[in-house]
Each structure stands twice: as C-alpha cells, then as structure tokens.
Structure 1
C-alpha cells in the first residue's frame, strides 16, 4: 500500500503538516522537500519537527511519537564514571569550537553506522544558525585537545540536541552532563533527544508522548528569557570534576 507524503512548498515560510499526521512507519516521518534555510529550520523546531536524511535523499522532516527527552536535572552518569571525574582535568566551554564539533559529529566513526546524516548542506545550515545565535555547542577539552562535544538549537528556553561525539572515552557524556548542568541553572527544563535510543536511555533520557512534548515545547519556545547570541561568556568554563556530584548517579554496569 502506497502512502502519500506531503511535499513542502518552496517558500521557506510555507506551513508544515500537523505533527499528528506523521507516519507510524517509519515512526514520525512527516514531509519531504523544502530547504534548510534558517526560517524553515526555526519554524520546524518550534513545532517539534526536525530534518533527518542522508546524501542522495530529499530533505525529510520528522516528528516521532514518542519523543526522547532529558530533563536537565535528570542526566545519569554511572557511579564509576563519576568517581573517575573527580580527578579529571577536562573542562567544558560553549561556542568556542562550533565548527569543529559539527565536523567531528559528522565524521567520527560510530558502531553499526556507515556514512552520516550530517551532510555538507546540513553542516552549512547549522553554521548559519550558529552565526545568528540560535545554534550552540558545548566542547570538552583535555588541555588543547577536543575530547568530545554536543551541538543543537536553542529557542526560548528549549534546547534541541542534534548530535554529540567522543574523541576520547566519555567525552560525549561529559559534554551532555555539562550542557544539562548549565541549562538547569538557567531554568531550562528540557533537552530534546529526538528518537528512541538505548544509549541515551541509559544516560537518563525518557519517552514523552508527542502531544505531551509539543505541549511543553509550545510554552518553552515562547519564552523571551534568553535572546539569541553566543553562550561563551554565559556558560564560562566548567571543570569536569564539578560534574562528579552534579549528575544523578546510577548503579555501575
């Protein structure tokens, strides 16, 4: 049985179909086409929609049900990992190496995955959002070496995580925990983790029904508490050792 998938209009401001009309299989596929202009991307995120596609495919837009999210006070690091952080000399900063984080997320090999969905066009699109103050990265440094990082999009008091990477063991976990630590201090309650993933679940992500997610999202993106702009000064420098007691512990595996 064929399924009709809506095609987006050429105008970046053209409307998206309602997320409730997304397919069940594949879970959350909503529409195709359009472009990756800032206006289109920001409109998508505000509605609980994100792009996800590979080279050779049209731009595909998704809004899965359920949605995977982190409560910013709910990131879980194992007790063993937190013990290791106590003497760790790594530090986390924000928006000091955005391009490097995006490039690493696109190129670092991942178990069971060939290629990348972070295409050259996607990288260009998020660099432009970063230039506009809407996309941000958290970088973890071991001295001058980038050990890990995470990047995503901020609207109002909502952060939409896009991807993270580790160049050294545990680098992505520290980046996620540092991001959550800062957002919690700022009064931002949620990090969108998009699709179900066992690794993220072990780190404390949980499922929200799509309607619940969009209901919370609606109020958060309307917040004017945090206008677009660089996070470098606001985030400061966070020692990884400070995260040893800041994340909620879980039993060692």
Structure 2
C-alpha cells in the first residue's frame, strides 16, 4: 500500500503491486483529474468518510460480461409488462443522493461522503459519469450510476425503493448498449449481481480488458 503525494496526481501501477486486501494506495484527494485517472488505471475509492481515502483494485474482480446476462422468467415478465420506464442522465444528482441515503445491511452509515458526491457530479458534468433512472407512475423508484471508461462501465452504487426496480434498470441498460459495452465492473461481490450473471475474474485479466477497451475508445 502506497501513501500518495497530495500535490501530485499519480498512482502506483496496480498490475505491479500485490495486495491481499485489495488496497493499493491511501491518501491523495478527490479531484476530478485524480478520480478519472484512477478509474482509467482500474482503481476506485472506497472508504469511511471520516477516514483517509483508500484506493482499491481487488483481486479477483467481480464483473459482468453483457453476453452472460441472466434474466429470470419473472424479470422477463416485468420488462414485457412495462412495469417501469427508464431514462439516462435525467437526474444524476438525485440518483447519487438516493444511493448515499439507502440503508444497506451490515454497513454502518454510507461510504459516499459529501466530498466524493461533489466530485462524481463533476465527472458527470464532464460526460464521464452517467446515471440510469427507473420510474413507476412518474415516481423515481430505482437507479444506479457509474463511470464510463471506454467500453467498460464501472458500476458504483444502486438503489431500489420497490421490488425489482434496480434489477430492471440494470438489465435494460445492458440490453440497450448493444456493441458499445464490453464489460461491467461490479467491483465487489454481491448475491444480487451474481444472480444476474456477474462472476469473478483475475485482476490481471480485468486490467487487460480495461486497457484494451480504453485504448479503442
């Protein structure tokens, strides 16, 4: 684990640094430039707001290849019956605030600090971060946001106020991308995303895919 120089936007190469915990570096700041550079390298910030910023690149990495998407019969019916409608980037700030305020099992508080929210909103304004909104009867009932690096979408957080809302939004997003999406980076394992087809790959393989698809963008 490397201590970052706050006056220099740089990171150690995660491909060359082994870490049992997945933490590659600590410190630095949350400037738009540093955040974007981190995601391009395969790193992401994940830390408690009152603590130092931690930069992660776990091994293995939890990802979903669009071709491996699993849609259950019940979800096919939800989509066919048009239970929800979907938009993209209609209310990014609202989506990230809902993610910030969503209670999560076994999690004390939120990892989304106000400082991080402000920086990610700036990434959105720069066209790098995007949100997917899920609506029901004109109410925002689910959604998620993430960072687009070439053909890799780094999913950050999601929320759902009614059953199947975020899952429907996730499926619709993948299906709508066609050839524009090579991989979704889910980062850390969850049963919810595993049920949709997400799986573990090595850090080495993830970084190779990220680099290849970023170079092609």
- In the alignment, the residues of structure 2 paired with residue 195 and residue 12 of structure 1 have an alpha-carbon distance, to the nearest angstrom, of 28
- In the alignment, the residues of structure 1 paired with residue 107 and residue 34 of structure 2 have an alpha-carbon distance, to the nearest angstrom, of 28
- What secondary structure sits across from 1:160 in the alignment? strand
- Name the residue aligned to 1:73: 67
**Paired residues of 1:32 and 1:58 also in contact (CA < 8 A):** yes
- Name the residue aligned to 1:84: 78
The structural deviation recorded for 1:186 is: 3.6
The structural deviation recorded for 1:77 is: 2.7
Return the TM-score normalized by structure 2: 0.94
Distance verdict in 2 for CA 1:80–1:15, change over 3 Å: closer
- In the alignment, the residues of structure 1 paired with residue 192 and residue 183 of structure 2 have an alpha-carbon distance, to the nearest angstrom, of 18
Tell me the alpha carbon deviations over residues 84-137 of structure 1, each in whole angstroms, 9 at most, x when there is no partner. 332233111100010111001110122232211111111111000001110000
Tell me the alpha carbon deviations over residues 43-100 of structure 1, each in whole angstroms, 9 at most, x when there is no partner. 1111111100012110000000010111123222321232233223311110001011
- Name the residue aligned to 2:11: 15
- Name the residue aligned to 1:144: 138
- Name the residue aligned to 1:132: 126
Choose 1 or 2 for highest CA Rg: 1
**Paired residues of 1:22 and 1:29 also in contact (CA < 8 A):** no
Structure 1: segments with no counterpart, 5+ residues: 225-253
- Name the residue aligned to 2:180: 187
Tell me the matched-pair count. 217
- What secondary structure sits across from 2:68 in the alignment? coil
Q: CA RMSD in A?
A: 1.5
> Where does 1:1-253 land on structure 2 (aligned, <5 Å)?
5-24=1-20, 26=21, 28-183=22-177, 185-224=178-217
- In the alignment, the residues of structure 2 paired with residue 171 and residue 22 of structure 1 have an alpha-carbon distance, to the nearest angstrom, of 38
- In the alignment, the residues of structure 1 paired with residue 18 and residue 86 of structure 2 have an alpha-carbon distance, to the nearest angstrom, of 37
Tell me the alpha carbon deviations over residues 169-201 of structure 1, each in whole angstroms, 9 at most, x when there is no partner. 111101111221122x14311010001222221
